[in-house]
Amino acid sequence: MLDEIAIEGRPRYDDRTNMVVGVCRQHGHKLPLELGTEDDLNVLCKGIKDGKAHLAREATVAALGLLTPHPRLYAARPILFSADCKRESGPEHAVNILHPLKRAIKNKSQQGNTTYRAVCFASDGEGRRGKALVIEFMNRELNPESPIHPLLSGLEFMNLLVGEDDITPDKDAKHVLKCLRNLTMRDAGIKIRGFSITLGLIKEHLRRDEFLDKTIRAFLNPRDRQDELPDPPHDSSPSFSRGREALQIFGRLGYYLMMPYVNVDLDLSAQLTYLSAAAHLLMDLYAHDSARTDFMPAQTYYVNIMMMIKNAYFCVAKTKVDIPEGKFWLILLGTDRLEIFYGLLRSAIGPDSNVDLLQLANRASGLAEIAAGEVLDSRFDASWRGDVDVRNVTLLTCWVRGRELIEDFIPATREVFERMAAQGVDIFSPCGKPLLEAYDEEDIEAAYAALTVEAKYPAAASEEILQSEPTYAGEDDIEDAMAVEEPRGGFETHLTVNGSNLTKAKALRLAMAGLIAPRASTDRTKRVASIPCHEDTGIYDEGAPILGGPCLRIENPICVLVRCEERLFLSIGAINRMSWGSEKVQEISIDMLADGETKISFEMMCLVRTTVEDDPTERYDWRWSRDMDNVFFDIPGRLVQPINPTVSVRGSKPTYLFESPNLMVFASTLLERLKSADIKHLPTTSRTKSFPYRIEGKACFLCEHDTNDRSVDLDPPNCCQKCNPPVALNVAHPQRILEHNGAHLLYDPHINRQHEYCGLCLRPAQMCTFFLRRPNGNRRLIGRGRPVSGRWTSDMQWQQSQRRAPRVRMCRWCARSADLGNQLCGNIGEYLRLSQLHGETC
């Protein structure tokens, strides 16, 4: 089991090894960590100051855990503590951590008459370690001579990549389920068989089931550290019914992943059957309509879940081979026991303070003994009532039954799985391309990406500070005092620094005084003052007042103009998110659509021609096929037209019906009120199999003006206003614009050179649309348009910098700068301005 824990970022002297601990493992080899002389100390401090190595704020902890039901034996036994600065890549992590761990465990596998075997390496969802686990434990095919090969080779879609001694990687179930819940919090939502589920849509379904608003906010509050939805009511709209179907599928996925770990009445066969069902459902949802990452991120979500499921089957197979009459508890997998160790550690040091690396290592042995001596958990033999004998489990049967559960739940998946089997895919390549090959660092947790190590440069230590030598080394450094009184390593405990004889621990602490960041946990005073640890989340605030008049709600149908191949076409969509300013809303007044702060996100509906079965009256000629196309985000509300189509309840599922004349009226209305400034805000898509809407292969609902030219000027070119005829300017190359405008300034007879002109907008100073600002402030200097970064410097400094960006310059002859102007005039503007100041001789 491997996981990280936060520690204090400070170095400590270890008297047993005469080494400095607390420096990151990634770069610690660049500095002398053995503390022998004053020079060693100086080089170490300088290296940390220069950034060659870092003081770690996290520690990687590795522990062993036995797959046994006895609480006195199954407690975690920590075997590794390593300082981590979070600057390590996946391959480096495999070399620095996993490979030495694997070798050490193998060397100690024989203890007396007992042989221990490592069956898996478990971790949380950290992306860096996921890459390392793949490198180390998924690097070869399972050997056909392996005793577990006959048990696993018949599992269709199962991935058989393993490491040395058939070791497999594992992911903790609690972290996996947490990530699954976080999917629903994404702004983009989660795509379930062609339909996007967003947070707003989930709120709407809960509200329709008569949940209170405050209860809904409590359920879906992302800072808050939940029941299967029933079938939709008969009077529900088609889009609501379609959304409920997608939510039920997502709920079934969560059910199959969670129940094996929480339902104590399930036997081992049922647990594996549910995990197989989850694996097959995941494959279908990931590959359906090429959803891929629209369904869930490949690395930190899909791959992690599949790793957990695969490892469960492999571990049961190893148990059947090694202990045919034994038992296997699925909930023993993962990193749960390491979390229990962290709980004991917090109890020992206090919940409001962190340990450093030396304290962590010193306390680990005692805490492991406490965990082994206390019956901390009695859920296995007495509480788990299901049959967990491996002799009653047939892995192939469980795998096939799981697939049948999904095929019965979604009959269309039967054809999907047959097609996947013909293509030879497995659980890690549902779309044909192996996802493990694309595993990289892009999915590292937000906390990992945001972590920085702040170091303050130390002031030169004065000799007055180093005069006294108390035995006690300082706050919380009891280990240092004990090392002086009772040294354990046989090394010299003192060091001469600037002529003073100090203990090595104190010399290290004083030398590092300016480099150590403030303590990361000093909230003991808050606890005394009864200040809560967590801020009020506000989930029980009163709901927003009900809006008056007609309102637009989540899942309501709308029509919008969409750009496709330099044409405008009408599209029908269903709203899945609305916002006004920075706030997400569930409904908004139609009168507020014209407000510039209103943004609408929607999913495009797929329309097909109606048949007599759909509409016996033959009045309507289009219907929604209940399939969805692209999703568009944050479209201005003024570009949206609410509609109220007819609902058809014929058949098993409701749908919308449309008339072509009405759709053409909507398209004409949207086109007429479309302004040139709104064109760039229109959603854009490429041609798909369902859009533009077609009749016999020909596109329908093309929006065009009453001219022979069908194209719409979607992107009016940026033209030079001084040229006749106008010359188009490429805004992607501003240097070419400066060259063009510079030619006007030098040679255009219509330019009045008594005025100063901007090199970008070619307007006089009083009308310039650009202005400069200081790099450390937003104070506007001259102009009224968009800001441009500028730098106040003299011309001599600008020449030395060798940078070609526009600069505000001082006159090199008279050193005057107040009258040179602040517009982006470049060299030509400066020439014209200096000509006015000094005459032609200048």
What CA–CA distance (Å, rounded) separates 41 from 47? 10
pLDDT at 547: 46
Question: What separation in angstroms does the CA of 458 have from each of 30, 32, 462?
Answer: 21, 19, 12
Q: Average pLDDT for residues 58-71, to the nearest whole number? A: 87
Residue 468 reports pLDDT greater than 80: no
Q: Average pLDDT for residues 191-212, to the nearest whole number? A: 81
What CA–CA distance (Å, rounded) separates 769 from 760? 9
CB neighbour burial string for 479-501, b if at least 16 within 10 angstroms, e if fewer: bbbebbeeeeeebebebebeebe
Q: Which of 314-318, 645-649, 743-747 has the highest mean pLDDT?
A: 314-318
What CA–CA distance (Å, rounded) separates 191 from 183? 10
pLDDT tens digits for 756-785?
Answer: 777 777 777 667 756 555 444 444 444 444
Residue 450 reports pLDDT greater than 60: no
Q: List the single range of 152-166, 425-439, 646-660 with lowest mean pLDDT.
A: 425-439
User: In terms of DSSP bridges, do strands 698-699 and 598-609 run parallel, antiparallel, or are they unpaired?
Assistant: unpaired
106 burial via Cβ count (<10 Å: 0-12, 13-18, 19+)? middle
Query: What is the biggest distance separating any 2 CA atoms in the chain, rounded to whole angstroms?
Result: 104
Q: Are 165 and 116 spatial neighbours (Cβ–Cβ below 8 Å)?
A: no
User: In terms of DSSP bridges, do strands 567-580 and 598-609 run parallel, antiparallel, or are they unpaired?
Assistant: antiparallel
pTM attached to this predicted model = 0.71
Give domain limits for the chain.
Answer: 1-140+334-378+510-540, 173-311+394-438, 478-509, 551-703, 728-838
Higher pLDDT, 739 or 453: 739
Q: Are 554 and 594 spatial neighbours (Cβ–Cβ below 8 Å)?
A: no
pLDDT tens digits for 350-369?
Answer: 766 778 888 888 888 778 77
Higher pLDDT, 615 or 447: 615
Select from 530, 528, 536, 636 the least CA-distant residue to 592: 636
What CA–CA distance (Å, rounded) separates 744 from 569? 41
Q: How confident is the model at residue 618 (pLDDT cuts 50, 70, 90)?
A: confident
pLDDT at 814: 52
Q: Average pLDDT for residues 56-79, to the nearest whole number? A: 86
Question: What separation in angstroms does the CA of 137 have from each of 13, 168, 601, 689?
Answer: 35, 5, 42, 41
Residue 294 reports pLDDT greater than 80: yes
pLDDT at 352: 63
What CA–CA distance (Å, rounded) separates 330 from 334? 9
Residue 593 reports pLDDT greater than 60: yes
